[in-house]
Amino acid sequence: MRRTILSAILLAMASLVAVGQTATPGDAGRDRRDARRDQQEMRNDRSEMKQDHADLRNDLRNGNKVAAAQDRKELRQDARDMRHDKHDAVADRRDARADRRQVRAPQSGMGSHRGHR
């Protein structure tokens, strides 16, 4: 009697843990939105870099060294931001793909080959 109750409790706990680890369709959508937002930020950084580069050229032509130094600083910061946004976009795309695979995967535990090899 005790053994069956204990095994039922363990089975219920294991199933609750397994359900808690599955991806939901909302996870994939959220990761896709994050990836799109990171791509947009990357495009914004690229346009800011172009503007800062043009400002730097103008300042160098006009002989304004203080403004040129500031533009160089902004250009480096924009390049750094773009690298970070690109890294975040790639990570979000990878997470979205993994979530989609997990949502599509059969929940029977047979693996991706569906019991056949």
**What are the residue ranges spanned by the domains of the chain?**
25-100
Residue 108 is predicted with a pLDDT of: 59
pLDDT at 38 exceeding the cut of 70: yes
pLDDT at 61 exceeding the cut of 90: yes
Residue 97 is predicted with a pLDDT of: 86
Residue 111 is predicted with a pLDDT of: 56
Residue 58 is predicted with a pLDDT of: 92
Structure tokens at 33: 């939105």
Please, is 108 exposed, middle or buried when counting C-beta atoms within 10 Å of its C-beta (0-12, 13-18, 19+)? exposed
Which of 14-18, 87-91, 113-117 has the largest mean confidence?
Answer: 87-91
Residue 32 is predicted with a pLDDT of: 78
pLDDT at 77 exceeding the cut of 80: yes
Identity of the residue numbered 78: D
